[in-house]
Structure 1
Amino acid sequence: MSYSDFKTIDQAVAILELTVEDISHLFSHIAPIEASQRLKETLDETLDLAVSISTEKARSELIITPILLELRRRFNNKIGYFSGNTFNVDESKGLTGACDFLLSASKNQSLVTAPVLTLVKAKDNDIRIGLGQCVTQMVAAQIFNARNGLEQPVVYGAVSTGTNWKFIMLENQIVKIDLTEYFITQLNQILGILAEPFRIYFEGAIA
């Protein structure tokens, strides 16, 4: 098995022995971040085009990637950005294969180091289909972090069509799924949630 073989959240939870909690407005306490003029202008140019093409590749390149690069700039390029990289962690559990996106709290681009956020492109523009894959990658990130001496209690994940975003937290063996779905019109809230794990990490490192 590999990440992409986990087609549903039920499958991931059963095989990886997890517990699921559905929580409304899980991230509502997180302050939004104002999108830069650069990102606004980029999306003004690419959003309608991506929706018109309506392929996973177009939505990934024209919507998701500019948003993630905006996040990277917010932290002065101290975030590692990986797209389509192989992330083999535990073959016995099916935690192998390529990840759509991994973001790590390190500017090292030569190798994946301690990821704190995983993001899955929704297949067929259906958020639900990506949830199982996202959870398995979050578990892999949790194991990877522990192996690398980063005892991070929470791993963050997201599934996105580009225009729709759903966020997840993995705390120990508990998967917390935000029932709230965010839309691209809520770009500032999306940026705030994406930035949260890095804000926590870097503030902790300074402290």
Structure 2
Amino acid sequence: MSYSDFKTIDQAVSTLDLTVEDIPHLFSEISPIAPSERLKQTLDETLDLASSISTEKARSELIITPILLEIRRTFNNKIGYFSGNTFNVEETKGLTGDCNFILSASSNQS
């Protein structure tokens, strides 16, 4: 089993013995951050293309990656960015395989 085998939150909760906690307005105190001109220009150029290609890979490369890199720049590159890395955390629980994307609180990229 790999990360992508978890199809629903309920399945992950059951398999991994998780607790889901609903926290209303969790991010209500956080002010929105305006996108940079760089991100706006990139998305202006890539959104239609990603939509036309209409694959997960195109959306990943042309929409999601620029947004995550913008977040990383916002934090002065002091957060980690992982894409396609193998994270075999706990095989017995199905926490194995390649991640699509992970941002981490550490700038360590290894």
TM-score w.r.t. length of structure 1: 0.49
The residue aligned with 1:51 is 51
- 1:7-63 per-residue CA deviation (whole Å, 9 max, x = no partner) reads 221111111122334555543332100111110111111111111221101111011
Name the residue aligned to 1:90: 90
| Residues 59-102 of structure 1 deviation map (CA, whole Å, 9 limit, x = unaligned) | 11011000011111111111221100001111111111111011
Tell me what 2:72 maps to: 72
Give the match for residue 42 of structure 2: 42
1:62 lines up with 2:54 in the alignment = no
Give distance in 2, aligned partners of 1:77 and 1:59: 23
* RMSD of aligned alpha carbons: 1.6
Question: How many angstroms apart in 2 are the aligned matches of 1:94 and 1:3?
Answer: 7
Write out the 4+ residue segments of structure 1 that deviate beyond 6 Å after TM superposition: none
- CA 1:50 to 1:91, structure 2 compared with 1: closer, same or farther past 3 Å? same
1:9 corresponding residue in structure 2: 9
- Unaligned 5+ segments in structure 1 are 112-207
User: What is the SS of the residue equivalent to 2:15?
Assistant: helix
After superposition, residues 8-157 of structure 1 pair within 5 angstroms as: 8-22=8-22, 25-109=25-109, 111=110
Larger-gyration structure (1/2): 2
State the distance in 2 between where 1:104 and 1:20 align: 21
C-alpha separation between the residues in 1 aligned to 2:101 and 2:13?
A: 21
Identity %: 82
Return 5+ residue gaps in structure 2 as ranges. none
Partner deviation per Cα, 1:83-142 (whole Å, 9 max, x = no partner): 000011111111111110111223322x1xxxxxxxxxxxxxxxxxxxxxxxxxxxxxxx
More strand by share: 1
TM-score (normalised: structure 2): 0.89
Determine the C-alpha separation between the residues in 2 that align with 1:54 and 1:25.
33
SS in 2 for 1:103: strand
Whole-angstrom distance in 2 between the partners of 1:23 and 1:41: 35
